[in-house]
Amino acid sequence: MPATAILGLSFTNKAAQELKDRVLRLISESTGRSVRKELTISTFHSLCVKILRAHGERIGFRRDFTILDENDQKDVLKEVFRNIRIDDRRFDLDVILFEIGQAKNRFLTPEQAETQFLESGKLTPDYAVAAAASFTKYQQQLRALNAMDFDDLLYHAVRLLEQHPEVREHYNRRFRYILVDEYQDTNPSQSRLLRCLTESQQNLCVVGDDDQSIYAWRGADPTHILGFQYHYPGASMITLDQNYRSTNTILDAANHVISHNRQRHPKKLWSDRGAGEPLTEILLEDDREEGKFVAEELFRMQTEQKRRWSDFAILYRSNAQSRIFEESMRALRIPYKIVGGYSFLDRKEVKNTLAYWRLVLNADDDASLRRVLNWPSRGVGKTSLETLGTAAFGEGVSVYRVLPRVAGIAPRAEKGAQAFLALISGLRAELERIPPGDDSLVSLALANWARGSLEKAAIRKAVDEESDDPVQAAKKWENVEELVHALGQVKVSELPQPEPGESVAVDEEAKRESVGVAALREFLNRMTLESKDDDDKDDKDKDQVTLLTLHGAKGLEFPVVFLVGMEDGFLPHKRTLEEATDLGEERRLCYVGITRARDTLYFTRAKNRTRFGKTVPRTRSRFMDEVPVEMLVQRDESRTPTSLRADQAQHEERVKNYLADIKSKLLQGGGKSNEKSPFGR
């Protein structure tokens, strides 16, 4: 089977790269061949970019379309709001963009989307009206800018494949064997994409765990994996129930909790690692005591057991829970990191430099233009930019198209706009003049072009203007120089080549495209797509305790895990309890949290918490009631230390018997513990 016939798909760049590295290593070891250029293993979004770059002209997009990140989306939506006279300051734009994205993931028509916003009850009336009023205008604006957001990549790729049989047949012939990782996380767009790609053959293999489907809030639908055999009749299902991470005590707890979900494939995880330690449940007086206990226990274990700080993780349901643990760890000078912190690509000087380069490829990219037209200052103030934006919106074109001819802006602004036009067109011409050559020559030419662009755009001046502190300015400039270095690492030999079956027009355009333009486009593609799952790479090698949400913990593992805030209202979440919705996803979150631990697992909770100056009593999470009590060493730290000690020796004996019983079952292949807990149920 040729490697070109295989397609592997995952959800993050990191997962796709790890999968590709492993496959390439296995093939190399068994055959001595390298198939790096022939094998396609990517994310769903990356695959859609390739399909749309090759065939997007059929649905009205040029090959050089821009991919917008979340900040760019907000800029576009703000401009839409301004032109339909909605004050964007009254709204959390993330909420409206999320609902717009969900509508596209469900392939709603504009009319259906507007009805959904207004009648679903998910949004308050003012948000519903704003979303309904902006949806169609937002999509029209993206098309005018020759731009797509991340949801559009899937939406337009599926629309292209469904509406153009010749393109669909091309990819069915090319990818005869398709494999998908983490299938339980697929949304309707991804499911429809797979059905398009497998229309003429059913060689589809998916791997997933319905018990880890925890992203319904962003469109993932567990019925895709639960109903796989319905959508693909005749499919075989293989249950992989051996776990290589956790001890059997941890797995038994997880199995008991998740067994209360009704809609799932029945399975029971097991491990050959033995019983391991009992689990520990700690009741503290309040949230401050909970934070203090966790920090002190971390400190004790790190000191006594000679562990690295990176062996520990604190998992919680909501980001707001992290504060009290941060305070306690700072008090003990324990190093920690919050996963999902400030990304390299989110830094202003980095985003703005990339914006210049994006404009060189697609001058219609208004989000990038608005970011840098007056960075550094060119005299184009807010009023002038609004005048330009209104003129462009009225004509249904980008701001770049009206810059040479718009009236009504100040002479200084007009002069600055003309200089900006000359800058962008000049940088494009220089990029197109980079001659073909080997990797080293082209890389050197790209780096030289990038340095020249910084100088011509006066980016050092812009960085210095915004920084009162010379040290901070120097650090920001280092970030910009890192981009130059990264662009210089692009290898022309690894650039995507036009595929057989692409349209003649696109194929000819690709042949005419200079190596510099192709290299910069591939670099910006990677940067934009990688920003979607950037996990704070700056911190990955530091010895720090990890604090993260249960959603963020999926796919990770740690020797020691503290699952904190095990109370109704946190887990399950207050919103789920108030809306009386199915607890299935909240229970799956608990299951994911438990199975992040390799060796040691703590559950902590508070008897009371302070809310708006009042002491509020808390209730033990109902999911803790689903963990057999004989698996737990329970400690009540909220009472006097002697109150529980009378029972402690007897309870520890019960726990020892339980662990011995597990060991016996592993050795003998059966049996059930008859031990009962001194705490009862």
* Domain containing residue 96: CATH number: 1.10.10
Confidence of residue 600 (pLDDT cuts 50, 70, 90): very high
Of 653, 651, 656, the C-alpha closest to 679 is 651
Residues 6+ apart with CB under 8 A from 42: 8, 9, 10, 16, 50
Where a domain ends, among 128, 145, 162? 145
Confidence at residue 190, expressed as pLDDT on a 0 to 100 scale? 94
Is 426 domain-assigned?
yes
Vertex 201: Cα angle to 199 and 204 (nearest 5): 95
Percent of the chain past pLDDT 70, that is, above it, reads: 88
Using an 8 Å Cβ cutoff, are 273 and 666 in contact?
Answer: no
Is there a single domain that holds both residue 162 and residue 178?
Answer: yes
Is 389 domain-assigned?
no
Is there a single domain that holds both residue 119 and residue 161?
Answer: no
Confidence at residue 680, expressed as pLDDT on a 0 to 100 scale? 35
Confidence at residue 599, expressed as pLDDT on a 0 to 100 scale? 96
Is there a single domain that holds both residue 580 and residue 652?
Answer: yes
Q: Collapsing DSSP states into helix, strand and coil, what is residue 62?
A: coil
Confidence at residue 500, expressed as pLDDT on a 0 to 100 scale? 54
Q: What are the angstrom distances between the C-alpha of 408 and each of 32, 81, 384, 644?
A: 67, 22, 8, 79
Is there a single domain that holds both residue 430 and residue 326?
Answer: no
**For residue 330, which phi and psi values (nearest 5 degrees)?**
-65, -35
pLDDT digits (tens, 9 = 90+) for 361-420: 999 998 899 999 999 988 888 888 888 888 888 888 889 888 887 667 888 888 888 899
Q: Please give the torsion angle defined by the CA atoms of residues 127, 132, 137 and 138, in that order, rounded to the nearest 10 degrees.
A: 50
Answer whether residue 648 shows pLDDT above 80: no
Is there a single domain that holds both residue 420 and residue 490?
Answer: yes
Is 472 domain-assigned?
yes
The phi-psi region of residue 107 (left if phi > 0; otherwise alpha if psi is between -120 and 50; otherwise beta) is left
Where a domain ends, among 110, 145, 180? 145
Averaged pLDDT, 293-318:
94
Where a domain ends, among 100, 123, 145? 145
Averaged pLDDT, 560-586:
89
Is there a single domain that holds both residue 55 and residue 169?
Answer: yes
Confidence at residue 33, expressed as pLDDT on a 0 to 100 scale? 77
Is there a single domain that holds both residue 579 and residue 661?
Answer: yes
More confident residue, 2 or 375: 375
Q: Collapsing DSSP states into helix, strand and coil, what is residue 559?
A: strand
Is there a single domain that holds both residue 468 and residue 331?
Answer: no
**CATH at 362:** 1.10.486.10
More confident residue, 13 or 77: 77
d(C-alpha 619, C-alpha 465), whole Å: 53
Confidence at residue 651, expressed as pLDDT on a 0 to 100 scale? 53
Q: And the tokens for 267? A: 């399975």
Which residues does residue 632 pair with via DSSP β-bridges, in sequence order? 279
Confidence at residue 498, expressed as pLDDT on a 0 to 100 scale? 62
Averaged pLDDT, 16-27:
85
Is there a single domain that holds both residue 349 and residue 453?
Answer: yes
Is 399 domain-assigned?
no
More confident residue, 3 or 146: 146
Encoded amino acid at 523, one letter: F
Q: Which of 230-234, 246-250, 355-359, 670-674 has the lowest mean pLDDT?
A: 670-674
Of 416, 29, 369, 14, the C-alpha closest to 182 is 14
Q: Which of 210-219, 551-560, 564-573 has the lowest mean pLDDT?
A: 210-219
d(C-alpha 321, C-alpha 601), whole Å: 19
Is there a single domain that holds both residue 168 and residue 204?
Answer: yes
Instruction: Provide DSSP, 563-618.
Output: E---BTBTTTBHHHHHTT--SHHHHHHHHHHHTTEEEEEEEEEESEEEETTEEEE-
Encoded amino acid at 362, one letter: N
pLDDT digits (tens, 9 = 90+) for 31-76: 877 777 778 899 999 999 999 999 999 999 998 899 998 888 999 9
Is 519 domain-assigned?
no
Instruction: Provide DSSP, 198-225.
Output: TSS---EEE---GGG---GGGT--THHH
Answer whether residue 681 shows pLDDT above 50: no
Angle between helices 188-197 and 44-55 (to 10 degrees): 60
pLDDT digits (tens, 9 = 90+) for 172-231: 999 999 999 999 999 999 999 999 999 888 889 999 999 998 888 778 888 899 999 888
Is 237 domain-assigned?
no
Confidence at residue 671, expressed as pLDDT on a 0 to 100 scale? 44
Is there a single domain that holds both residue 432 and residue 464?
Answer: yes
By DSSP bridging, strand 66-67 and strand 336-338 are unpaired
Confidence at residue 495, expressed as pLDDT on a 0 to 100 scale? 77
Task: Count how many domains the chain has.
Answer: 4
| Mean pLDDT computed over every residue of the chain | 85
Counting other chains too, the contacts that 236-243 makes at CB distance below 8 Å and 24 or more residues apart are: 237/265, 239/265, 239/267, 241/267, 241/268, 241/269, 241/270, 242/269, 242/270, 242/271, 242/272, 243/269, 243/270, 243/271, 243/595
Answer whether residue 563 shows pLDDT above 90: yes
Answer whether residue 643 shows pLDDT above 60: no
Domain range for 471 is: 345-378+411-494
Using an 8 Å Cβ cutoff, are 61 and 52 in contact?
Answer: yes
Using an 8 Å Cβ cutoff, are 162 and 194 in contact?
Answer: no
Answer whether residue 646 shows pLDDT above 50: no
Q: How many CB atoms lie within 10 A of CB 47?
A: 23
Averaged pLDDT, 257-282:
93
Is there a single domain that holds both residue 190 and residue 319?
Answer: no
**CATH at 597:** 3.40.50.300
Q: Which of 21-35, 438-452, 603-617, 658-672 holds the top average pLDDT?
A: 438-452
Is 502 domain-assigned?
no
Q: What are the angstrom distances between the C-alpha of 275 and each of 14, 270, 305, 666, 667?
A: 32, 10, 20, 9, 11
Q: Which of 108-117, 462-471, 493-502, 614-623 has the lowest mean pLDDT?
A: 493-502
Is 281 domain-assigned?
yes
Residues 6+ apart with CB under 8 A from 352: 371, 372, 375, 459, 462
